[in-house]
Amino acid sequence: MTAPSGKIQEFHKEQFLISTDPSRLDVSAIHAFLTRSWWADGISKETVARALANSLCFGVYDGQKQIGFGRVISDFATYAYLCDDYILEEYRGKGLGSWLMECILRHPDLQGLRRWMLIAQEPRLYAKFGFQPLVAPQMNMELLNADIYKKAPPHVA
């Protein structure tokens, strides 16, 4: 998915590139990382591809190699959910995670939103950008199917 404006955004820093061009995404690389993450262990490549097709995605590249990723699910008017963001381990410590967050938060089609959400085990990076624990956790609810990626898909007749 491209943003409502339809414009692909690109950001450059040294030899690195962040792009919202969906044709650049390496679905196999994203899937490989997500299958070893705490939040998407066991996710199928087909599910990853469907998620990418329905989200605003930010690929992080060193030349042609995809080294990071982030995706935003949004109505582009009031709400955005940031998920699946990562930088490969061998590229961490270079400020690329912070740069990815800066690029996502300044994307023109994600301005003026009332609420951003994310789930993080280690929230330090996100706190630098103003994210904080829920103001009213008692008002937030979820329907969580935690093991869904590890279960066999339902049989469709």
- Residue 156: the pLDDT is 47
109 backbone dihedrals φ, ψ, rounded to 5°: -85, 0
* 10-150: CATH class: alpha beta
Q: Indicate the SS3 state at residue 6.
A: coil
- Residue 124: the pLDDT is 87
d(CA 106, CA 88): 22
For the chain, list residues with pLDDT below 50. 156-157
- Residue 152: the pLDDT is 63
- CA 58-14-10 angle, to 5 degrees, is 30
- Residue 145: the pLDDT is 87
Using CA atoms of 100, 57, 28, 90 in order, give the dihedral in degrees to the nearest 10: 0
d(CA 31, CA 46): 9
DSSP 45: H
pLDDT in tens, 2-19: 677 789 999 999 999 999
pLDDT in tens, 80-91: 999 999 999 999
| pTM over the 0.95 mark | no
d(CA 22, CA 27): 10
Which residues lie closer than 8 Å to 123 by C-beta, 6 or more apart?
A: 131
